[in-house]
Amino acid sequence: MFSEYFDLAVKSIVRKGLRSWLTMLGIFVGIAAVVSLISLGQGLQDALNQQFELLGTNLIYISPGGDIYSMMFSTTTAKLKDKDLETIRDTRGIELAGGMLMTTSRITYRGKSVFTYVAGMPTDDSQDLMFSGSGITISGRQSRFNPSDKKKAAIGYRYWIGDVFDHEVRDGDRIKIDGKDFEVVGEVSQIGNEMDDANIYVPYDDVKEILGLAENEYVVIMARVRAGDSVSETVERVKRELRKSRGLKEGNEDFAITTLEDMQESMNLVLGAVKWFLVGIAGISLFVGGVGIMNTMYTSVLERTTEIGVMKAVGAKNSDIRNLFLVESGILGMVGGVVGCAIGAGLSLTVEYFAGLNPATATLKASIPPELVLGAVAFSFIVGSLSGVLPAIQASNLKPVEALRYE
């Protein structure tokens, strides 16, 4: 019986021609938006999770104040000093730890000046931890700073591609930082945002000299948890030792400890909320599409009133008429969903292609799992069927005699 409903419904849709396609337009737009937004959102989430996995899950970040950026933007008076670094290094479970200093300085090259962040890096083994924990590498004459290095700098990506000054700054060139000559000995890999890609990296002592510090004041301390030790338990031990060292009570900490797992969870929550918010907006198009299907089906009932009367006169039941219109409205929704999925997938793959042209966004891939497509098509069928419920009930309740007399 369903095959008969299907055949009649398809013939009715084909007979309407352009009007059927216009009816499905809202479904096209809604499903295309849902598929493209979810696939790109999931792709972005997958890319970020991949980056977190590359950094490792055994890194912890200790910052003064409430978060990692509070010191950078001068929103806290708390300081992390050498004593705190030694306390962290001595904590059970910590394999390696190092700190980073940060200041804003004037960078001059060939007579042109800009202001940017200058990071002071350690010159011992913890330097590798600082760079890997920040997701960057250095290429050029030196891939790391040596203990004897002074007035040497590694430049961010935007300098060596010529995006900051009128000329490219490369390995071997000389720049001025706050009026002092520095030799460029390395080029930092691309991070992905303009601010970080304009950073300059120099040894600790040079930043201390710029700031006029007697001892190091760290913007962040990174530590690696020893393999086999629990990250969460080690974090608690670090908190306990720092409170003891700094004379603080529990709950009154003037430092914050963040793990990569914490960052990953927070990022996934934000991305998930944004993704579904955008999908909710796209759902408005589906609502509009559903209203369009309902309007078309009401019009179809009026146009086919006599046909309905004939069908009832030859024995068709009210349920047969109702099911026929429900199937027709469902097919309108389903076809709209299939076309919308194709459009949405095309949009996602187009964004992926253009993202791949930029190294900073090359990791973004559209994620279009089969369940997303099947779910979108099924949902569009349900939207179409629900939109046809009231017109189907109206059609099934028509009196045969009145329907045959209708003109």
**What is the pLDDT, as a whole number, of residue 86?**
92
Parent domain of 315: 2-52+264-405
Q: What is the mean pLDDT of residues 140-160?
A: 89
What is the domain count for the chain? Answer: 2
Q: What is the mean pLDDT of residues 305-309?
A: 71
**What is the pLDDT, as a whole number, of residue 107?**
94
Q: Are residues 246 and 284 in the same domain?
A: no
Domain boundary at 227, 253, 279, which? 253
Residues 195-251: tens digit of each pLDDT: 888 999 999 889 988 888 878 889 889 998 988 888 889 999 999 999 988 888 888
Q: Are residues 293 and 229 in the same domain?
A: no
**What is the pLDDT, as a whole number, of residue 83?**
92
Q: Are residues 226 and 91 in the same domain?
A: yes
**What is the pLDDT, as a whole number, of residue 362?**
67
3-state helix, strand, coil in the chain (%, to 5): 55, 15, 25
Q: Give me 369's structure tokens.
A: 């799992």
Q: How far is CA 351 from the centre of its chain?
A: 14
Q: Looking up tokens 């469902």, which residue turns up?
A: 330
Among candidates 222, 225, 226, 251, which has minimal Cα distance to 239? Answer: 251
Asked if the structure places residue 389 within a domain, the reply is yes
**What is the pLDDT, as a whole number, of residue 55?**
62
CA–CA gap between residue 145 and residue 138 (Å, rounded): 10
Residues 33-59: tens digit of each pLDDT: 888 888 888 887 777 777 666 666 788
Q: What is the mean pLDDT of residues 23-37?
A: 82
405 pLDDT band, cuts 50/70/90, is low
H-helix or E-strand spanning residue 114: strand 112-121
Position 225, amino acid = V
Is the per-residue pLDDT at 72 higher than 50? no
Domain boundary at 253, 277, 294, which? 253
How buried is 389 (Cβ within 10 angstroms: 0-12 exposed, 13-18 middle, 19+ buried)?
middle
Q: Are residues 246 and 269 in the same domain?
A: no
Tell me how far CA of residue 354 lies from CA of 157, 178, 192, 346, in angstroms: 20, 39, 15, 12
**What is the pLDDT, as a whole number, of residue 71?**
44
The answer to whether 105 and 209 have CB atoms below 8 angstroms apart is: no
